[in-house]
């Protein structure tokens, strides 16, 4: 076979193989085999030097022609393969734009926050503004200044979470998680004196207690404080009655029973007729017909004085409502632990 014939055969063989190359990798192999540095066409071009002189120009020209033709064929095939691969990829990764999207579930306010906001609205109607006091409190504000000195037996009413590392501080300077919202009374008075005061103090309280269906170690309270020049027990009773009418309904009666708190004198407990049975007696009110809704009383003279208000000139009332209990009664929630158990099945219901 002459060199020319061999060259033409190589040409046809290369073209035939090019059609079979179906992937970019196969194509790369083909390029190496024919056009690469050690490729067969390249090698053919190198043989020119060993040929008889008169054969060289024609052979050389033909090799270059074939090389150019194959390079063009290569480019064309490469474009075809790339196109096909892209098509496959597009089919594989196709997005069905008619499919419904994944729903975004909007969150909502926690039941407690909803309950608090409802309470804010009612108290705002009666002229009470919101005042916030800290959760981590000084012992003095939580106890001593509220007329509950160290070793006073009344401290047993509030089992306390103490803040680590503050034990060696002087009594009064030790830190704790407030056991009730009453320490806020001292804070508002010290800040507002000599203005008259009408505020509610909402906030989370903490007690070192056994957790049961009825008791949590964290819960909200809504404190109220009014300080003025001629405030009497009647004002307190009228205010909590009005609140009860707005929150529980005007058909529910309110009663007060005498009670004891170190920071109020006299002290009372406020009951409202059971929201469920209306006073008939049921499981929610333990067949008494009444629900306890708040502790309250006239601000103790010692507390007024600790707040900077002269008890001979000023008087006031204070009350402390639970927040979760009323919500439980309203929605028929039987276990207080559900509030902060983070179970979405519960939380989503409200």
Residue 326 and residue 288 in contact, taking contact as beta carbons nearer than 8 Å:
no
Residue with Cβ nearer ligand PHE (162 or 331): 162
In 196-300, the DSSP E strands lie at 197-206, 218-228, 254-261, 264-273, 290-299
Residue 118's contacts (CB-CB under 8 Å, 6 or more residues apart) are: 247
Start-to-end CA span in the chain (Å)? 93
Shortest CB 344 distance to ligand PHE, Å: 30
Distances (CA, A) of 259 to 146, 154, 255, 264, 267: 16, 13, 13, 10, 5
Interaction between residue 320 and ligand PHE (CB under 6 A)? yes
> Distances in Å between the alpha carbon of 293 and those of 39, 54, 58?
96, 119, 112
| Cβ-contact 200, 133 below 8 angstroms | no
Residue 180 touches ligand PHE, criterion: CB under 6 A: yes
Choose between 44 and 185: whose C-beta lies nearer to ligand PHE: 185
Query: Whole-number minimum distance, CB 110 to ligand PHE, in Å?
Result: 22
Q: Note if the bond before 266 is cis, omega within 30 degrees.
A: yes
Least Å distance, CB 284 to ligand PHE, is: 21
Q: Please enumerate in sequence order all residues whose Cβ is within 8 A of that of 115, keeping only pairs 6 or more positions apart, or say none.
A: 220, 323, 324, 326, 327
Cα–Cα–Cα angle for 150, 156, 158, rounded to 5 degrees: 95
Q: Are 217 and 228 in contact (CB under 8 A)?
A: no
Q: Scanning residues 259 to 318, which ones bind ligand PHE (CB under 6 A)?
A: 261, 264, 295-297, 318
Give the torsion through C-alpha atoms of 18, 23, 24, 30, to 10 deg: -30
CB of 163 to ligand PHE, least distance (A): 19
Q: Name the minimum Å distance from CB 320 to ligand PHE.
A: 3
Residues 233-262 that bind ligand PHE (CB under 6 A): 261
Question: CB-wise, 169 or 212, nearer to ligand PHE?
Answer: 212
Least separation in angstroms between CB 112 and ligand PHE: 17
Distance (Å, rounded) from C-alpha 185 to C-alpha 295?
14
CB closer to ligand PHE, 39 vs 183: 183
Q: Within positions 35 to 64, which residues make up the interface with ligand PHE, using CB under 6 A?
A: none
The CB-of-259 to ligand PHE minimum distance in angstroms stands at 8
Minimum distance, C-beta of residue 221 to ligand PHE, in the bound complex (Å)? 6
Task: Quote the CA–CA distance of 128 and 46 in Å, as a whole number.
Answer: 102
Q: Please identify, using beta-carbon distances, which residue of 159 and 191 lies nearer to ligand PHE.
A: 159
Identify which of residues 147 and 182 has a Cβ nearer to ligand PHE in the complex: 182
Least CB distance from residue 341 to ligand PHE, whole Å?
23
- Closest CB to ligand PHE among residues 34, 317: 317
Q: Number of residues interacting with ligand PHE: please give it, by CB under 6 A.
A: 11
Which CB atom, from 41 or from 119, has the smaller least distance to ligand PHE?
A: 119
Binding flag, residue 176, ligand PHE (CB under 6 A): no
- Kindly tell me which residue out of 44, 182, 272, 315 binds ligand PHE, with binding defined by CB under 6 A: 182
Rounded distance between C-alpha atoms, residue 240 and residue 270, angstroms: 8
Strand 136-138 versus strand 254-261 pairing type: unpaired
Task: Figure out which of the listed residues 30, 141, 314, 319 binds ligand PHE, where binding follows CB under 6 A.
Answer: 319
Nearer to ligand PHE, 17 or 292 (CB): 292
Question: Which residues are at the interface with ligand PHE (CB under 6 A)?
Answer: 180, 182, 223, 261, 264, 295-297, 318-320
């Amino acid at each position: 076979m002459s060199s020319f014939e061999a060259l033409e055969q190589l040409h046809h063989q290369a073209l035939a193989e090019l059609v079979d190359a179906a992937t970019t990798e196969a194509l790369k192999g083909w390029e190496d085999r024919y056009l690469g540095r050690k490729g067969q066409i390249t090698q053919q071009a190198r043989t020119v030097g060993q040929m008889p002189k008169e054969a060289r120009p024609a052979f050389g020209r033909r090799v270059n022609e074939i090389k150019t033709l194959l390079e063009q064929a290569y480019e064309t095939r490469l474009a075809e393969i790339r196109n096909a691969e892209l098509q496959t990829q597009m089919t594989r990764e196709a997005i069905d734009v008619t499919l419904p999207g994944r729903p975004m579930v909007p969150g909502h306010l926690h039941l407690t926050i909803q309950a608090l906001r409802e309470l804010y609205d009612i108290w705002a109607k009666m002229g009470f503004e919101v005042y916030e006091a800290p959760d981590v409190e000084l012992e003095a504000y939580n106890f001593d200044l509220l007329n509950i000195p160290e070793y006073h037996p009344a401290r047993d009413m509030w089992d306390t979470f103490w803040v680590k590392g503050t034990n060696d501080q002087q009594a009064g300077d030790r830190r704790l998680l407030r056991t009730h919202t009453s320490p806020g009374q001292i804070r508002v008075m010290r800040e507002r004196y000599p203005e008259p005061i009408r505020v509610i103090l909402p906030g989370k309280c903490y007690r070192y207690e056994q957790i049961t269906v009825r008791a949590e170690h964290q819960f909200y309270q809504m404190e109220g404080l009014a300080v003025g020049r001629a405030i009497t027990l009647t004002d307190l009773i009228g205010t909590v009655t009005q609140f009860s009418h707005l929150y529980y309904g005007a058909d529910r009666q309110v009663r007060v029973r005498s009670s004891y708190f170190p920071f109020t004198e006299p002290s009372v407990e406020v009951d409202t007729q059971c929201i469920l049975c209306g006073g008939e007696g049921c499981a929610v009110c333990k067949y008494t017909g009444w629900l306890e809704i708040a502790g309250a009383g006239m601000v103790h003279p010692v507390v007024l004085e600790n707040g900077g208000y002269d008890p001979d000139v000023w008087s006031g009332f204070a009350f402390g409502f639970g927040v979760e209990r009323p919500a439980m009664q309203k929605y028929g929630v039987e276990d207080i632990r559900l509030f902060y158990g983070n179970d979405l099945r519960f939380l989503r219901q409200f």
